Structure 1
């Protein structure tokens, strides 16, 4: 109290070794090097020291990582509470599969709504947040100080109830979030519709939406397609893999791709139950001179040679600039594909035919295109 020094903080980092607290010193060194907290057992005073040292370190707080923590002596929720000051100063919080519950979400909501809020990237995948936890996160997202750009909530036990809260929050503060991952949550069509409705808002800047294995059907595609047709549509990547969309769902998506306002560049439809019967609609979208689509992944769908023929007709069109990955191709399909690439050689740069039973002649046929300087094909798998 009598020290006239202007210093306003005391850094005990170099004293830790003399104090015999080697475990804490090692943990701090590890964190400053990797940005990750390991499964350690620290007392309350040690946690306080850890937070203090991290906040007074000259190293900028870019990434906070508790990935796969699962708690040791302390639960993940308690750790988040203790490290809240550190999280508030970080730009990225990687908290996937570390045992966070709704209690931890309340702490994170505080970080999201702090002023100023530094967090831009929040990953909570693999935690059983349930709808209660998502509602708390949504409260943080709704705050005008929140600037989160990337939100990952895959396999978090979210249903349409959680989607309603999330959609409400994003309508209130839609301008920052550009990446949303809800993979593995049983949202079903109602939840998909709630999330899709956000995209219609002209203030929404979302560019990537991942809805893998969410229980969507063709009914969940209608609102989504409406969003793709909105003006302007900012969405650039859509992943609907693992959903049984059916013929009508795929046709709806294809119609959306043809709309002049649709700016989608990447579309994933892996294992969606697509057959050759809907490939005509997809080919029409590829053929459209208004389509921005660059990457289309149809892996795991039974297209047969008929479907490949139809899609290749779309690729032949000079307006088409799309790349098709992981088709189900036979030797006949390879010949048609090679012909299409010769007709329109200027765009396709990568072709992945993994898991297809190709003969040596098929490989030779396609390899010749890759080696030909007149073609843009750079990668052939």
Structure 2
């Protein structure tokens, strides 16, 4: 049975009428009903009184920190059987956020991203974390927790018996001081495989502290996202220690950091070490120039594990791309996905790429979006794509401009090769 009330500003009388129903139905949807903190005490009571309730939707309501805390108190009740909570915060616009919560059955994931939460919400969240040991994933990205809130959350995670596998804290106001707290979480959660700290101002000091936890023997992290975290080449030195020591680490994003060519060189040197088994590296928007490309060439020709390389939004130019193509032309390279969008590639660079497409048997996806090529460069690529020896399966050409004649050839090629996708 379900109770669906949407887009209705509930008066006191109407709310009094609905409360007994909320305590009976299995599915309750109260979307865009003008609910505020005042109603959350009743919602908490309804959760506690209704063991049949498995799905609750509270989208587009202004509950606030205090209201969130009250609802979380209801979720801590031992009789709570909720499996799905749709909880759209004001920061989401019209984007629904699906939140299977930490009070749920094993393998379900609590998602509280874009819920306009602050540090005030962290203590009730931590309390739930301590008493509900079943969840595997915690998504709290894009909330304004700041240093104090993150400290409280990390303490709750450290005290929890959960076997956490994924922790996502993008854009949460984390500071370098919180990295010790995060180290404690890493140390206490040998199950942790994914850690996303993007868009937090950790700095090199924070990275150094974090790496001390990542180097612990119990750490088996597989994915580490550190995009836009104020990391420079100095911070790369600590990360390189992790790369060389942790064969479990497979994915690393450092996009949006000022690594420059010095940082790229340090990373590439680590990728050549036998202890490094990284499969995906993102260095988009890292102020890399053509001078970094010889180091990446060494990786492409010698490393047998790196399958994905994101280098977009770096001014590599044709000279850098030509250098990369020298390595990609080797017969035993293993790279499958390469992003070179917005890298100042012109028709001249396309000539080298077209040659590589005929020689390389591993590359499956190539992104050349927002580069300076025209008809001449695109036609060179098309000629290679027409050949049976070309193994590429996807070519991305967003924000590239060509004539109608070239457009006709692109569409004809897609019909000839159904396995090939040209995205423009």
Give the TM-score normalised by the residue count of structure 2. 0.76
Which range moves more in the overlay, 344-353 or 233-242? 344-353
Q: Determine the structure 1 residue equivalent to 2:105.
A: 60
Query: In structure 1, which of residues 207, 212, 223 is the aligned counterpart of residue 250 of structure 2?
Result: 207
Aligned length: 362
**What aligned pairs does 1:52-131 form with structure 2 within 5 A after superposition?**
52-53=77-78, 59-61=104-106, 62-71=108-117, 75-85=120-130, 88-114=133-159, 116-131=161-176
Q: Determine the structure 2 residue equivalent to 1:39.
A: 64
Deviations 1:221-241 (Å, cap 9, x if unpaired)? 122112222225421211111
Q: Determine the structure 1 residue equivalent to 2:259.
A: 216
Deviations 1:262-291 (Å, cap 9, x if unpaired)? 321111111111100112221022212232
Runs (5+) with no aligned partner, structure 2? 1-19, 25-39, 84-103
Mapped pair 1:272 → 2:319: no
Q: Determine the structure 2 residue equivalent to 1:193.
A: 237
Whether contact under 8 Å (1:76, 1:99) holds in the other structure is no
Whether contact under 8 Å (1:88, 1:119) holds in the other structure is no
Which range moves more in the overlay, 62-71 or 42-51? 42-51
1:173, CA displacement in angstroms?
A: 3.7
Mapped pair 1:158 → 2:202: yes
Q: Determine the structure 2 residue equivalent to 1:354.
A: 398
SS at match of 1:75: helix
1:104, CA displacement in angstroms?
A: 3.1
1:45, CA displacement in angstroms?
A: 7.7
Whether contact under 8 Å (1:81, 1:104) holds in the other structure is no
Q: Determine the structure 2 residue equivalent to 1:242.
A: 285
Whether contact under 8 Å (2:233, 2:259) holds in the other structure is yes
Q: Determine the structure 1 residue equivalent to 2:379.
A: 335
Q: In 1, Cα distance between the equivalents of 2:192 and 2:343?
A: 35
**What aligned pairs does 1:300-315 form with structure 2 within 5 A after superposition?**
300-315=342-357
Query: In structure 1, which of residues 227, 231, 234 is the aligned counterpart of residue 270 of structure 2?
Result: 227
Q: In 1, Cα distance between the equivalents of 2:233 and 2:218?
A: 22
Deviations 1:224-262 (Å, cap 9, x if unpaired)? 112222225421211111111112212211221111x33
Runs (5+) with no aligned partner, structure 1? 1-13
Q: In 2, Cα distance between the equivalents of 1:294 and 1:368?
A: 25
Backbone CA RMSD of aligned residues: 3.2
Q: In 1, Cα distance between the equivalents of 2:71 and 2:140?
A: 21
Deviations 1:108-152 (Å, cap 9, x if unpaired)? 434544574321111111111110112211122123x43211111
Change in CA separation of 1:265 and 1:44 when aligned onto 2, cut-off 3 Å: closer
Whether contact under 8 Å (1:275, 1:303) holds in the other structure is yes
Whether contact under 8 Å (1:255, 1:281) holds in the other structure is no
Q: Determine the structure 1 residue equivalent to 2:98.
A: none
Whether contact under 8 Å (1:123, 1:153) holds in the other structure is yes
1:295, CA displacement in angstroms?
A: 1.3
Deviations 1:350-371 (Å, cap 9, x if unpaired)? 1111101111111222222221
1:178, CA displacement in angstroms?
A: 1.0
1:293, CA displacement in angstroms?
A: 1.0
1:322, CA displacement in angstroms?
A: 4.2
1:39, CA displacement in angstroms?
A: 3.5
Which range moves more in the overlay, 98-107 or 247-256? 98-107
Q: Determine the structure 2 residue equivalent to 1:6.
A: none
Q: In 2, Cα distance between the equivalents of 1:230 and 1:35?
A: 50
Q: In 1, Cα distance between the equivalents of 2:278 and 2:58?
A: 32
Change in CA separation of 1:238 and 1:25 when aligned onto 2, cut-off 3 Å: farther
Q: In 1, Cα distance between the equivalents of 2:276 and 2:66?
A: 49
SS at match of 2:138: strand
Q: In 2, Cα distance between the equivalents of 1:42 and 1:378?
A: 48
Mapped pair 1:51 → 2:76: yes
Change in CA separation of 1:86 and 1:282 when aligned onto 2, cut-off 3 Å: farther
Whether contact under 8 Å (2:318, 2:348) holds in the other structure is yes
